[in-house]
Amino acid sequence: MVPTDKAWAVRTARDRSGTPARGRLLDAAEAVFARRGYGPATVADITAEARVSRAGFYVYFASKEEIFRVLAVRVRDAFLAAQEVPGVDTDDVRAVVRASVGAFIAAYARHLPLLGPLEQQARTDADLAELWREIRERPVRRHARYIRRLVAEGRARPAAEPLAVAVAVGGMCVEFARRAAGRPDTYDGAVRDATALCLRLLGITGDGPAVRS
Q: Which residues of 54-92 are buried (b: 16+ CB within 10 A; e: fewer)?
A: eeebbbbbeebeebbbbbbeebbebbbebbebeeeeeeb
Q: With bands split at pLDDT 50, 70 and 90, how would you rate the model's confidence at 207?
A: low
pLDDT tens digit string along 38-82?
999 999 999 999 999 999 999 999 999 999 999 999 999 999 999
3-state secondary structure of 51: coil
3-state secondary structure of 209: coil
Average pLDDT of the chain? 89
Greater pLDDT, 211 or 8: 211
Crossing angle, helix 93-122 and helix 20-36, to 10 degrees? Answer: 60
Domains identified in the chain and CATH numbers: 5-62 (1.10.10.60), 68-202 (1.10.357.10)
- Whether the per-residue pLDDT at 149 is higher than 50: the answer is yes
pLDDT tens digit string along 167-190?
999 999 999 999 999 999 999 999
Q: What is the pTM of this model?
A: 0.84
